[in-house]
């Protein structure tokens, strides 16, 4: 059985407490009060409740830490080395349509690097967690990325950009380039869970553009600690802030990245 550090216990405890409210609201999804920020980008009452619980739990446990929340924004902390990065509900559109595929995710950034991360799927009770140097786990089982070494056998996930975002044509080129080379492309509607699935070996890779730090932060440490690679699509390493990310197992990363970059350059 994996021994969780005090830090991971704080993160998983906060995730489980917030998730109870999400599960309750998911069971009454038709009664949710929903406000519309833009096409296909909704904020639900459940999202807001989850975030408030996470703020209370995390900031009570580590009151000196800073934080970055999806809805509440940045919170300055006396400890400038540590910052929570939190998504209270990833897969909001799925949630609001009664599709049982969503999660909440918490990461700790320490001295500019993602140090620990938790992604929790409350409906399946799957807690993905990782801490730098300690490995990645699903509940109590150690995670490793897949061992597939040929793209033709690989399943790769991506995200479709909401209407308000541009880049639909860019994604079309990427899909045209990568789809024929793989066993299949999947779009499930939660980038955070997609990244966790790469760490678990369920997906062999994932890519998407236009993401936010809270979408990807936990997935970065999960994939790295499971033996995979994470980077920007254009080859850089500021994917946390640029929102352009590839995560894949160590054998397929280069091939996926090369194919996606070729699709980008071909349009220039």
DSSP state for residue 31 in the 8-state scheme: G
Interior CA angle at 122 toward 119 and 123, to 5°? 135
218, HSE (Cβ side, Cα atoms, 13 Å):
35
Burial of 142: CB neighbours in 10 Å, binned 0-12, 13-18, 19+: exposed
Distance, CA of 52 to chain centre:
20
In order of start, what are the domains of the chain with their CATH numbers?
6-142 (3.30.540.10), 151-266 (3.40.190.80)
Q: 196: closest CA among 111, 133, 124?
A: 124
User: Residue 52: how many CB atoms within 10 A of its CB?
Assistant: 16
**Which pLDDT tens digit goes with each residue over 202-250?**
999 999 999 999 999 999 999 999 999 999 988 888 888 888 999 999 9
Q: Do 51 and 70 form a contact (C-beta atoms < 8 A)?
A: yes
**Which pLDDT tens digit goes with each residue over 118-143?**
999 999 999 999 999 999 999 999 99
């Amino acid at each position: 059985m994996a021994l969780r550090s005090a830090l991971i216990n704080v993160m998983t405890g906060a995730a489980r407490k917030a998730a109870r409210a999400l599960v309750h609201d998911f069971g009454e999804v038709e009664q949710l009060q929903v406000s519309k920020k833009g096409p296909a980008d909704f904020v639900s009452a459940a999202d807001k409740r989850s975030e408030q619980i996470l703020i209370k739990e995390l900031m009570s446990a580590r009151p000196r830490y800073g934080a970055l929340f999806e809805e509440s924004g940045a919170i300055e902390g006396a400890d400038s080395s540590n910052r929570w990065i939190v998504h209270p509900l990833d897969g909001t559109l799925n949630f609001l349509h009664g599709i049982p595929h969503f999660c909440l995710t918490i990461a700790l950034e320490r001295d500019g690097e993602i140090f620990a991360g938790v992604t929790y799927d409350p409906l399946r009770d799957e807690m993905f967690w990782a801490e730098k140097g300690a490995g990645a786990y699903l509940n109590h089982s150690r995670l490793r990325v897949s061992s597939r070494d040929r793209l033709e056998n690989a399943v790769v996930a991506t995200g479709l950009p909401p209407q308000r975002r541009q880049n639909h044509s860019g994604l079309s080129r990427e899909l045209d380039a990568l789809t024929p080379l793989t066993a299949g492309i999947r779009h499930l509607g939660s980038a955070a869970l997609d990244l966790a699935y790469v760490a678990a070996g369920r997906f062999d890779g994932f890519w998407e553009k236009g993401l936010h730090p809270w979408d990807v932060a936990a997935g970065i440490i999960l994939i790295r600690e499971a033996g995979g690679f994470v980077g920007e699509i254009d080859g850089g390493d500021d994917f946390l802030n640029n929102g352009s990310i590839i995560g894949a197992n160590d054998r397929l990363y280069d091939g996926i990245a090369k194919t996606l970059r070729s699709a980008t350059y071909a349009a220039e």
